[in-house]
Structure 1
Amino acid sequence: MRILVTGYTGQLGYDVVQQGLQLGLDMVGIGSKDLDITNKDAVYHYIKKVKSDAIIHCAVFTAVDKAEDDKDACHHVNVDGTKNLGEVAEEINAKFMYISTDYVFNGEGKTPFKATDEPSPNGYYGRTKLEGEKVVKQLLEKWFSTYFMGVWYKWKQFC
């Protein structure tokens, strides 16, 4: 199984690829210089060329504070880019893992958040991450969402 990991030049994407390689998985890590996920045609051609069986989506507009000032860029990456990846994944029947964030919650919890907790986004960044998650749920049949700490546990369950 070939697994494409977006956001490879970021800390999360890099760590996911490294963990996958240590487990003996066929990992392909890509960053924004390799593929602009906001370009639907480029996403389609790249993923078909790589022949991905699965996608772990770690790419994100990470400047949380800047998201309030540059809402278009944040939405374009976190929602539109996710939609592009999801549409191609569904078309080629690839499994899709969406990495969420605690910013989809209000930050007032006293215990660690769970994926089943009621979302209440904290700021524009959190709203776009939640919207990206909703896009994935609507588009894909073979998807799941998790937080980084649960990536490999969830992945083994999913496969």
Structure 2
Amino acid sequence: MENTLTRYCQGVDLEWLELSHDEHEIEKQKAQRAAELRTLKDEVSQLRLSYLQMMGQQLHGLSFNDLRHLERQLSNGLHSVEDKKKQKIIEENERLRKQVEELQRTVKTASYDGGEKEEESDSDISVTSLQLGLSCDGNKKRKASKSESLCNDSRSQVGSE
């Protein structure tokens, strides 16, 4: 029984040592996290101040050299924005140029197809004329003479007034 009690006491001592060791580790981790949190808060505060200075605010504590450095940063940033804007404009112009070329090709193809249709309609007229026994030239001459007579009639009416 004494042996059992001795082992029990040793086990309790080990558990207490483990608990105190775990508590020590937990406290150590809490301290590390608190330090990390302070560091992050300081970094956020510094970034917020830099942002406000870039926006032209919170400039009262800056020296001449600090202001000159800030001006260079802003100037470099502005040049980068202008370069990016120019690049976007060039890309957009290129895209639009390709679109115009494609539309021009489409229009040329459509007008070429339309030209074939006119030729087909002329050939349809000539086939019809041949089937009726009319000459192709005669059909065009008759159309021309009708339009000329209409034009001549309108001139004569204008001349008589």
Q: Report the TM-score range of the alignment, normalised by the length of the smaller protein.
A: under 0.3
More helix by share: 2
> So what's the TM-score if we normalise by structure 1?
0.18
> So what's the TM-score if we normalise by structure 2?
0.18
Larger RCO (CA under 8 A, 6+ residues apart): 1
